[in-house]
């Protein structure tokens, strides 16, 4: 079988054996909370972050992406978290449920000064 697109990227077209299929179900937050999915990623020099916002009815409320230049995965994740807070503040959304809450204590511990500036900026909205 020929796969011209895969061949153009030098990607092998061999079939992979699927070991297990896992069902993943989105769980809605209870009203009035908004669920925020954030992600930071690093691929070579194309580092970026983004977030997605949904309400308790699974309605899409908004999203953003941001190119960051060159940075670490941790920095990209922190940017996603901070920009999600700013995006939510711009829209007047206060009840946020983050999908990746493990990042918050790390952010608090390692970037207290940056967080203080962020809280001040958010209070201006």
CATH number of the domain encompassing residue 112 = 3.30.420.10
Query: Per the domain annotation, does 97 fall within a domain?
Result: yes
Global pTM? Answer: 0.65
Burial of 70 (0-12, 13-18, 19+ CB in 10 A): exposed
Query: Per the domain annotation, does 15 fall within a domain?
Result: no
Domain range for 69? 33-123
Query: Per the domain annotation, does 24 fall within a domain?
Result: no
Query: Per the domain annotation, does 25 fall within a domain?
Result: no
Query: Per the domain annotation, does 6 fall within a domain?
Result: no
Question: What integer pLDDT is reported at residue 40 of this predicted model?
Answer: 85
88-113: pLDDT as tens digits: 999 999 888 887 655 665 665 555 56
Give the span between the Cα atoms of 35 and 33, in whole angstroms: 7
Query: Per the domain annotation, does 89 fall within a domain?
Result: yes
As for how many domains the chain has, the answer is 1
54-85: pLDDT as tens digits: 999 989 999 999 998 888 888 888 888 889 98
Query: Per the domain annotation, does 18 fall within a domain?
Result: no
């Amino acid at each position: 079988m020929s796969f011209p697109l895969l061949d153009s990227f030098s990607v092998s077209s061999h079939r992979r054996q699927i070991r297990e299929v896992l069902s993943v179900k989105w769980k809605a937050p209870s009203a009035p909370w908004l669920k925020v999915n954030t992600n930071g990623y690093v691929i070579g020099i194309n580092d970026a972050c983004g977030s997605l916002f949904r309400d308790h009815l699974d309605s899409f409320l908004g999203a953003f992406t941001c190119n960051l230049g060159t940075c670490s995965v941790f920095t990209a994740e922190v940017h996603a978290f901070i920009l999600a807070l700013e995006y939510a503040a711009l829209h007047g959304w206060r009840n946020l449920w983050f999908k990746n809450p493990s990042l918050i204590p790390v952010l608090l511990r390692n970037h207290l000064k940056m967080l203080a500036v962020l809280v001040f900026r958010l209070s201006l909205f």
